[in-house]
Amino acid sequence: MASRRLSLTRPRASSRPPANGEAIRKQSYRGAPVTLTDLRDDEEWEPTSDEPNLTLDEVREAIAGWEDELKAKNRVLSGRTIVVVHSLPYVCTLHPTTKSHTTLFDHSVLPTPTDELPPLFPTGERASTPLAPGDPLLRPNPLHFPPPNRAPSPTHPVARKPNPITSFTAPGSSLSPSSHPPCPPSRAPSPDTAALAKAERGPQLHRWVLHPRRGHAALNSGLKSLSAKPLVVVGRPDDLVKEDVHISQAELGDEEKKDLEKGLKKMSEEGEGMGCIPVWLDDKVHTAFYEGMCKTFLWPIFHYLALPDSIDKKQETAAWEAYYETNLVYAKKVAETYQEGDLIWIHDYHLLLVPKMLRELLPDANPYISLFLHCPFPSSEYFRNLPRREALLDGMLGCNLVVFQTHSYARHFLSSCVRVMGYEAGHGGVDAKGSITRVAYCPIGIDVDNVERDRKAPGVEPKIEALRRLYKDKKIIVGRDKLDPTKGVLPKLLAFEKFLSDYPEWEGKVVLIQVTSPSPGDSPALATKVSELVDQINAAHGTLEFQPVHHYHQTVERDEYFALLTVADLALITSTRDGMNTTSMEYIMCQAEARGSIIVSEFTGVAATLNKAVKVNPWDLGGVARAIDQCLKMPMSERILRHGVLYQNTVSQTAAVWAATNILKLLESLQGEQATQNTPPLQVDSLLAKYRAANKRLLLFDYDGTLTPIVKNPSDALPSQLLLDSLKTITSDPKNVVYIISGRDGDFLEEHLGHIENLGMSAEHGCFIKAPGSKKWISLTDDLNMDWKRDVLQIFRYYEARTQGAFVEKKISSVTFHYRNADPVFGLFQAKECQAMLESMQESLPIDVLVGKKNVEVRPAHTNKGEIVQRLLYLHHETEFCMCAGDDKTDEDMFHSMARVSSSTSSGSPPTISPPNSLRLFPSLAAELPPDAYGDDPNGELQPVESKLDPNCMYMIAIEKDGQARMTMANALLPTAEEMVSLLAKMAESP
């Protein structure tokens, strides 16, 4: 499968609209037919994806293919997905009852005729309410303040009651039950009543009714599309309703909680379909978590807003502790639910620490974890303002895969990992201490089928006709946003005022209908500014008969909402920062007949998907005004072409495709050698037992970081007396062959370890070799033409001159470009460019290009550590016990060579070791070959050999600081170099 390649390069910049408004006016009246090539491609703010647009069936087919391939490689897959969300996307309504029901949810969606309570889902379709003369949408004067509660419609199933006044409204609790429209037949609610009817349970004292929460349609649609296989949703039930009033978890009795939890858990145990597992969290902790770290720190920074000046350290610490505690509660709940082979899909910025916590709670399970971030991810310069930035990034890097809405957000994340953490980014992911976290992007879509059905509902058409009569001969611009600073309502109003001033011919002919949906985080100050600005515009450009701005600060019913989107001539979206905007996609669906235009802010994630929308900078008021004029004058031919592309993008990238693609990308991320298992701690007693039992042993060690601690000055990394004594004892045992394989030069190794007679050594990554018991160093460079160094040095000097802080190091056998002191992002960019150029020369030059820690090194071909290990395994194929230890990225080559030998064995047969290329390329190594190495033909090819190694006696030990488990080809872990030396001392004491 193709994968999206991410880089840290910036996408192509967009050209700005011309300053001359007359040029746009002339362009708007083109007489010639418009084609797609006429639409300006320079408005692309995101690079074009090289992946094909797959249908839902094609994505599911690809998922099945990847699952088969993984299972063929003995990877365990259970077929179940655990979705972890901060809040369950359902409203849970409690009704007391004296009747006994066979299940928790059966008969609660459709009560029997004897039930006094009216059903919340009477038929699956809601009776439509025509526009009455007093309906707010028909009022000639705009409303720009929160209106009083409207009387419930006589056809509405539940009468509205005001929410209780509290000091803090839980997230998602601002909507009363009546503001959630009943679920149409194709929009499945959380409970699977058919599955629940199979369960044999005792009588229930309480009856719970669930239906989707408003604002979560895309997520619900995505989850529903995954429910063909077992699916478990873990989250906190935030929208709790009792007697038509929202309540907190603290107000819920124990029996009521048990009824809800038992029923939801029973659903998840049915083996198919979708079930939920609630997370019960103390309301005070949740308030500190949500209002503290989430809304005071993370949400502002992720949306490029400054942190409040009033924050002190005590407040920040309390917010962080609540955030950590909450994430731990979720992680423990997921760990309790987890079964081997489950896929874990975590959502949004509320739970960034959960991935790493799951790794720690499930150290032996190697869970497959993906994180999807619904909100924007800021640039590294803004992200680094967070006081707990390192812990947040480390938490995210506990995933196998991190997915964002757009390429830009993914690029910002990579940049933050490089700049803040000092990690290396490349190959589609981040290398965090040997653990590879893949990074991708996949924009969310909408439930196209539901939108198509809802916009054609019987109640929509009467409202459409009423609105058209009311605004006859007027151009309608529609906007629908939450009233928060990032949605750009103020810039939108200012731009509309600028439009009326610069284009007076439109006065009296255009109306802006702006709907701002109430939310718990509404800003009174912002509401006041919006109200004042609406009055100002209407006073300056309105009359007694007509006002150009109609503002409604209320939650409109779906019939009204889709009627507005259908009659509009233009949708105006001016978010200053937004993860994704589904209103724009719903507008495109509603404009299937009229082909209305749409303007989107370049700072919203949807701008990348809707590549033929007119894009604007919301802060450029003149540019937005010109764009409004351009769209209102746009000829039908151009509108048809633009809408055709936008419509196709919308219906192909649905919420179901988004959900399936995320699962597909997670499975893809598990492929390859880097998708390895967590390294468990070394079982020392088991190793020593196998060491004693072996008749022939091969012991291979890196030096810096493995036998001695990493120090600031490399010349100070001297071997301890315990290490020297242990090496002398071990090398004196005829059963042992011991090598130090280091990047150090031969002079250093000879000075400090040369007196140990039977110790073999390899210097400069294998370019110089000294066999055990020998006094002579073999230089492989004597067999090679080293003229390539001149060309490589010239390339390195070119990049050195253009990268401030970089320098070039020359050795006898290699040349290295170091960028540790350069800007981390620009240095990495230059190193990648240099690496690409060098790799293109590998066909003509006998070189290997090695990417190390903040450096690019070029060495003779076949002289890396992995080649040395393969050669030693080949020459000592009678070995029964092999141990290899290292701490660096370059040591992964050694582990890879050993892993290849281990994987070459099949059931009942010994491993086979192929002859290494170095024995054929370097004549100076021929003396090491046994007489029968070429078989019966002395002039023939080297033959593979059978090894006596049992894979259970192959130890690849990674030395990792602080003993943190990491993902690597190693199969065991030791925390420090001192622990490694201690192990050698125990081996020296063994008989």
Find the helix or strand (DSSP H, E) in which 921 lies. helix 917-921
Asked if residues 628 and 499 have their Cβ atoms less than 8 Å apart, the reply is yes
Find the helix or strand (DSSP H, E) in which 570 lies. strand 570-573
DSSP assigned state of 492? H
- The model's confidence at residue 1, banded by pLDDT at 50, 70 and 90, is very low
Tokens standing for residue 821: 């002191």
pLDDT (0 to 100) of residue 905: 63
To the query of whether residue 702 is one of the catalytic residues in this protein, the response is yes
Question: What mean pLDDT, rounded, does the chain reach?
Answer: 79
Higher pLDDT among residues 33 and 814, named by residue:
814
Query: Percentage of residues in the chain with pLDDT exceeding 90?
Result: 44
Asked if residues 491 and 576 have their Cβ atoms less than 8 Å apart, the reply is yes
Query: For helices 21-28 and 621-633, what crossing angle results, to 10°?
Result: 20
Dihedrals phi, psi of 705, to nearest 5 degrees:
85, -15
> Among 66, 340, 343, 370, which residue's Cα sits nearest to residue 230?
343
Instruction: Give the range among 102-111, 436-445, 872-881, 935-944 with minimum mean pLDDT.
Output: 102-111
> Among 816, 393, 351, 446, which residue's Cα sits nearest to residue 650?
446
Instruction: Give the range among 256-265, 311-320, 539-548, 871-880 with minimum mean pLDDT.
Output: 256-265
pLDDT (0 to 100) of residue 36: 47
pLDDT (0 to 100) of residue 266: 61
Distance set, CA 1 to CA 60, 537, 655, 853 (Å): 13, 54, 21, 30
- The model's confidence at residue 91, banded by pLDDT at 50, 70 and 90, is confident
Instruction: Give the range among 280-284, 801-805, 863-867 with minimum mean pLDDT.
Output: 863-867
Asked if residues 635 and 204 have their Cβ atoms less than 8 Å apart, the reply is no
On the question of pLDDT at 811 being above 60, the answer is yes
Question: In sequence order, which ranges of 479-575 are alpha helices (DSSP H)?
Answer: 489-502, 524-541, 558-567
> Among 619, 608, 559, 560, which residue's Cα sits nearest to residue 584?
608
Alpha-carbon distance 6 to 438, whole Å? 10
pLDDT (0 to 100) of residue 210: 76
pLDDT in tens, 753-786: 999 989 999 988 778 889 998 888 888 777 677 8
**Catalytic one among 192, 348, 702, 891?**
702
pLDDT in tens, 364-417: 888 999 999 999 999 988 999 999 999 999 999 999 999 999 988 998 998 888
> Among 445, 767, 706, which residue's Cα sits nearest to residue 585?
445
pLDDT (0 to 100) of residue 434: 67
Tokens standing for residue 203: 């009588």
